Structures are given as C-alpha cells and as structure tokens.
Amino acid sequence: MAVDIAVLTVLSYASGGIQSNVGLLLLVSLASAGMISRGRITLFFAALASIAALLGHAYAVLYVDADPAKYIQVGLLCIAYFAVAWLAHTLAKYAVDSQKLAQRRGRDLVSLSEANRLVMRDMEGGVVVVDGQGMIMQMNQSAERLLRKSIGQENLLSETFPLLYEEYMVWQQTGKSNQDILLLDEGLQARLRFLPIEKDAIKGVVIFLEDMRRVQAEAQQIKLVALGRLTANIAHEVRNPLSAISYATELLQEEQIDTNQRRLLKIVLDNTQRINQIVQDVMQLNRRDRAQPEALDLGVMLRVFIEEFCMAERVKPDVIVLKSLPGIGITFDRGHLRQILWNLCHNALRYCSRLPGSLKLTVLEVNRRLVLDLQDDGSGIPVNERGKLFEPFFTTVKEGTGLGLYIAKELCEANSSLLEYRELEKQGACFRITFGEVNRDKAGAEYDG
C-alpha cells in the first residue's frame, strides 16, 4: 500500500494534479486492502493516501501555481478514500463472520452425520430411508441383516425389496399397512412401522423393521425372571404342605377303615402325587437359563438313550427304530436333551401301537441344518388341538400335567434349537428338533440303522 500510494501520487502530480483523476486509482488499492487487512490498519492506509494527496496538491500550489480552489476536490477525494476503506473493511468483516458461521455449521453437519451413522449402525432394529420417488437413500446394517441383502444407495425399493414395497404402497394410499408383521426369508419376521418425512420440499418415509426374535427374547427373559420367582415360591409354599398331606394320607390308609374311606384316601393320594409331579415339572423350567452345552455325538447319545428308555418303560427294543447319519456332532446340554427326548418318546409311546418300528427316530441334514424327527404310528393329533400343543398345562390325558411339550420346547430354545410339530400325510404324529449347523466328524451319507 505504501508503494501504491507513493507511485500513484507521483503519477497524479506528473499528470497535472488533481484534475488528472489518477488519484482515483487508489480507491481500488484501498478497497483491496480493506478486504484482506484486519482491524483499523485500513484507516491508516486511507490516512496515508489522504496525506499524500494533500501534500501533492500543496506542493503543486506552492511551486507550480496550481489552483488553490482544487483543495475542495482533494478533500472530497480524501473522504472517498476513508469511505471506501471503511466500507471494504466492514464487508470483509461480514464475509469473515459468514465464513466462520459456514465452517461451524459444516462442523456441526459433519458431527450430526457421524452421530446419525453411529446411531444407525448400532440400532438393534432395521431402518430404511426412502425418498418420495421410492428410492432407497439410507439403510443400516440391521436392515441388511433382516432383509438378507446388502445394497448401495439410490436403489429402487420396488426392485430391491418387492414385499416391503407392496406394504409401503399400501401405507401411502391408506395410511396403514396390510400386515404389521412382515414375513421374510428363512422364517424371519419383522414388525413394520412407517414414519413420514415432510419438511419443506423434502418428502419421504423412514421404515422401521423390528426383529421379532429380539422381542421374543426380551419377553422370554421376562418370563424366566417370573418363572424363577414362581418356582421358588412353589418349592417352599406348595411342596411342604403337599408332603404333609401325602404323609398324613398314607398314615390314614394304614388304619382300619371301610372301603369307601379307603377309596377317598386313594383319590387324595393320587391327586397329591399329580400335584407333586406338576411342581417337579415347573421346577425343571427353572433350569432353562442354566444350560451347559457340550459337544455330543448325536448317534451315540440316541442309542444310549433308547436303551435306558426301553429298560425304564419296559418296552421291547425293536419298538424304537433309530436311523442316524454317522459322525454327526451337536452342541447341546446333555441333561436337557435327555429330558426333551424322554418327554417326546413318553408321549409317543402312550399313543403308538407298541409294535416293532412303532416309534422312529430319524436324523437328517436339511439345508445344512441337523434335524431329528420323532414319528409314531398312533392316531395323530387332531387339527383343532395342534395350535395348543406347546401351551403350558394343555393336556388331553387325565393323569397328564400338560407341561411335557412345553418344557421340551423351552429347553430346545435354551440350546438355540427349535421344536415343532410336523403334519404327516399318513397316520401318526411327528415332532422335529432342528439343531444348529452340522458338525460332521467324517463324511458319510448312509443311514446307520
């Protein structure tokens, strides 16, 4: 600026003074200085330029006989110097403030974007963001895991997930979907919830997918807590009085009583034994959350179990037939598996004909999942009762407790397995246990019967 002021002042004097208007070129330099400088130094530059203009005109008046009346024009030029310098400085200040605000907003936007990414990534439920044209804008890992597909952004929802798109279109037209629970591949279920996005010109929807397995796991955990309290109360409040009643009844039977009284005492004793059996079954449920899985050879485990079961139930060995793949290992709690098999085989033995091959235990490999089918040749289960099979205390047998299948299903779930009833075209009933992935010790596909 000092060089510009000196050079332009000399050029102005050499060109005839103030009337040459060369001094106006300093306005450009002062404006530039005001844009890039900080603080009051801009006014210092304007003061230097004004002093130079006044000294130049004063020298011209003294030695070149310039018109003294031109001082007014010089003064106006000096005022213009200060005005331009201050205006440029003020505009630069606003520009700097705007830049700082933009940078702060940019940092906030980056922070919000990162927070959104972390929240989306760590959410247990699936989230799919769709714009007004049905284009997928964002999708978290949970949604990819539920929908069994990993995609990039800006894919059409209709082409990528047709089932979800159908529910989305129904929701757009009616405000609600046809079904709250969406059936996905491999038996997965997800609860749907749509949340519209309507802000300014932006339109879209956020689709929430809640994994029903997690909901069921939470409900199961609550049930286990309640079950633990229940079993503790039963052990103290029910079994002790029940034992006293049973003992007193046995003592009364030893006395001299008539036939009617003996019959009544037998009814009391039978019912106390039945209640005691129910208590024992409920107590077993408390072991569900204390599973101790271990590596088991399923074929060996089944053969040992069949021998023990036939001996305990006084069943001929040829009534139960085993067909198992060789060299198959599973991870399961040994006590739980034995209890499950005992409950299922005991029920099957109650309804089968007890002829050779009446009860079949078959080990299969289905879609890299190991399954065990227990099939009998009985009359089967009526259609109207199949939906209640695994409900607690549901039984069609007078002396039954209704907890056998319920306990078996609970113990299967405690070991990451599934127990279900399968419909058969022919007569009989079949229950299937689905284990985890196959752990084959050696190759082989023939049955070891």
pLDDT tens-digit map of 329-384:
888 888 888 888 988 898 888 888 888 888 999 988 877 788 899 998 888 888 77
In a domain, 332, yes or no: yes
In a domain, 61, yes or no: yes
Which residues are bridge partners to 328 per DSSP? Answer: 440
- At residue 400 the predicted structure's pLDDT band, cuts being 50, 70 and 90, is low
- Name the average pLDDT for the chain: 79
Please give the Cα distance from 397 to 391 (Å, whole number).
Answer: 15
**Cα-trace Rg, the chain:** 45
Residue 42 domain boundaries: 2-101
Please give the Cα distance from 407 to 347 (Å, whole number).
Answer: 13
Which has the closest alpha carbon to 121: 139, 109, 137? 139
On whether the CB atoms of residues 209 and 143 are closer than 8 A, the answer is: yes
Tell me, yes or no, whether 277 and 342 share the same domain. no
Out of 148-157, 277-286, 316-325, which region has the weakest mean confidence (pLDDT)?
277-286
pLDDT of residue 178: 64
Domain ends where: 212, 242, 259? 212
3-state helix, strand, coil split of the chain in percent (to 5) is: 60, 20, 25
Phi, psi dihedrals of residue 329, rounded to the nearest 5°: -110, 145
**Which CATH number does the domain housing residue 279 bear?**
1.10.287
Tell me, yes or no, whether 204 and 219 share the same domain. no
Please give the Cα distance from 142 to 125 (Å, whole number).
Answer: 6
Mean of pLDDT values over 158-171 = 82
**Which CATH number does the domain housing residue 424 bear?**
3.30.565.10
- At residue 272 the predicted structure's pLDDT band, cuts being 50, 70 and 90, is confident
In a domain, 114, yes or no: no
pLDDT of residue 443: 35
Q: Say if residue 439's pLDDT is above 80.
A: no
CA 333 to chain centre: 28
pLDDT of residue 37: 74
- At residue 405 the predicted structure's pLDDT band, cuts being 50, 70 and 90, is confident
Please give the Cα distance from 39 to 89 (Å, whole number).
Answer: 8
Which has the closest alpha carbon to 251: 239, 260, 259, 243? 243
DSSP state for residue 357 in the 8-state scheme:
T
Tell me, yes or no, whether 376 and 358 share the same domain. yes
The single-letter code of the amino acid at 447 is: Y
The token pair that represents 448 in the structure block: 């070891």
Please give the Cα distance from 277 to 305 (Å, whole number).
Answer: 22
Which has the closest alpha carbon to 293: 92, 397, 439, 141? 439
Tell me, yes or no, whether 204 and 189 share the same domain. yes
Tell me whether strands 359-366 and 320-323 are parallel, antiparallel or unpaired. parallel
On whether the CB atoms of residues 427 and 363 are closer than 8 A, the answer is: no
Tell me, yes or no, whether 130 and 74 share the same domain. no
The token pair that represents 73 in the structure block: 């024009």
pLDDT of residue 28: 84
Tell me, yes or no, whether 261 and 297 share the same domain. no
Tell me, yes or no, whether 197 and 227 share the same domain. no
Helices (H), 286-391: 298-313, 334-351, 383-386
Of 185 and 417, the one with more pLDDT: 417
Which has the closest alpha carbon to 321: 359, 290, 354, 348? 359
pTM: 0.47
On whether the CB atoms of residues 38 and 84 are closer than 8 A, the answer is: no
Please give the Cα distance from 372 to 358 (Å, whole number).
Answer: 16
pLDDT of residue 445: 36
Mean of pLDDT values over 184-192 = 71
pLDDT of residue 357: 87
Mean of pLDDT values over 79-98 = 85
On whether the CB atoms of residues 142 and 211 are closer than 8 A, the answer is: yes
CA 347 to chain centre: 38
pLDDT of residue 235: 64
Out of 221-225, 416-420, 443-447, which region has the weakest mean confidence (pLDDT)?
443-447
Write out pLDDT tens, residues 28-52.
888 888 777 766 788 888 888 888 8
Please give the Cα distance from 435 to 302 (Å, whole number).
Answer: 14
Mean of pLDDT values over 204-219 = 78
Mean of pLDDT values over 228-242 = 71
Most confident of 146-160, 208-222, 291-305: 291-305
Tell me, yes or no, whether 86 and 146 share the same domain. no
At 327, is the secondary structure helix, strand, or coil? coil
∠ at Cα 30 (25, 31), nearest 5°?
100
The token pair that represents 157 in the structure block: 């929802």
Tell me, yes or no, whether 188 and 221 share the same domain. no
Tell me, yes or no, whether 196 and 229 share the same domain. no
Please name the residue that has the structure tokens 């596909």: 445
> Taking the C-alpha atoms of 300, 303, 309 and 312 in order, what is their torsion angle to the nearest 10 degrees?
-90
pLDDT of residue 14: 81
Domain ends where: 212, 236, 251? 212
Tell me, yes or no, whether 299 and 402 share the same domain. yes
Mean of pLDDT values over 16-26 = 80
On whether the CB atoms of residues 157 and 134 are closer than 8 A, the answer is: yes
In a domain, 233, yes or no: yes
The token pair that represents 371 in the structure block: 């399954």
DSSP state for residue 148 in the 8-state scheme:
T
Count the domains in the chain. Answer: 4
pLDDT of residue 444: 37
In a domain, 67, yes or no: yes
Domain ends where: 101, 133, 155? 101
Which has the closest alpha carbon to 329: 368, 364, 370, 367? 370
Please give the Cα distance from 136 to 118 (Å, whole number).
Answer: 19
Tell me, yes or no, whether 154 and 52 share the same domain. no
Write out pLDDT tens, residues 279-304.
776 666 655 556 678 888 888 889 99
Mean of pLDDT values over 165-177 = 80
**Which CATH number does the domain housing residue 177 bear?**
3.30.450.20
In a domain, 353, yes or no: yes
